[in-house]
Amino acid sequence: MTASPVLSRDTDGVRVLTVDRPDKLNALNRQTLEALDAAFAAAAEDAGIRALVLTGSGSKAFVAGADIAEMNGLTAIEGREFSLVGQRLMRRIERLPKPVVAMVNGYALGGGLELAMACHLRVAADSARLGQPEVGLGLIPGFGGTQRLLRLAGRAAALELCLLGAPVDAARALQLGLVNRVVPAAELEAETMKLAAQLAAAAPLALRGVLDAVVLGGECGIEEGLQFETAQFALLFASEDMREGTAAFLEKRKPQFRNR
């Protein structure tokens, strides 16, 4: 039986998913894309999981890109399908009802940066390098990179990274808005897990409301987005967690959220 290219472990409501192909710098082949898709689908349905962390095996790479050896033999029709498989995974992550933090421990190039951008938050080691080098292969990003770069970092940065193909260091990625935090490599896991634990302790229904309002509402015009926000806001008044959170504030104690 072939070992899964994705490892999973749970810690206090946080599921850590690790792309485990260190000999290939964790490159995304079709099997890995499908394994990640299944892993995120399972996490979405697991009531015991409140936040996720995504990373790559080893210290060199988060994910160094799509598997070039596999892509080299694809026809145009097969290439289209490969793109759609990758885009479905990225969309699943982006629309997951639980927060996902990318722990960028090394190279996040091509499909790796696209994977990180699909996550809701990104913490990078100061040694990380991020980029979209597909133009050097005679390609363009195919897993949503052009669109998420545009939305995260703006048109100028999206064109710079995609047209030139040169990666940027973690400090520049932070300036561009590609990552939320940069920490020393030795502290990356501890800092990322601290952030994930904070998310796991928060009110799950409120987190889901934020994700829906920002991710889905952000795809609408301003008026539709505001209406969507109001709907999410109002729904939370029917939750026990909202009553608990407001009562705990008034009583000056820590809330105990129960996801209902």
Q: Which residues of 169-188 are buried (b: 16+ CB within 10 A; e: fewer)?
A: bbeebbebebbbbbbeeeeb
Euclidean distance between CA atoms 82 and 72, whole angstroms: 12
CB contact at 8 A, 113 and 27: no
Select which of 34, 45, 70, 134 is catalytic: 134
Q: Residue 64: phi, psi to the nearest 5?
A: -85, 0
Supply the angle between the helices 111-118 and 76-94 in degrees, to the nearest 10. 30
**Cβ within 8 Å of residue 61, ≥6 positions away:** 22, 25, 26, 105, 106, 107, 108, 112
219 flagged as catalytic: no
191 flagged as catalytic: no
Q: Residue 190: phi, psi to the nearest 5?
A: -60, -45
User: What are the distances in angstroms from CA 106 to CA 2, 29, 81, 85, 126?
Assistant: 26, 19, 28, 24, 9
Give the dihedral sign, CA 59/65/68/74. Answer: positive
Select which of 45, 114, 223, 229 is catalytic: 114
Query: Any idea which residues carry the catalytic annotation?
Result: 114, 134
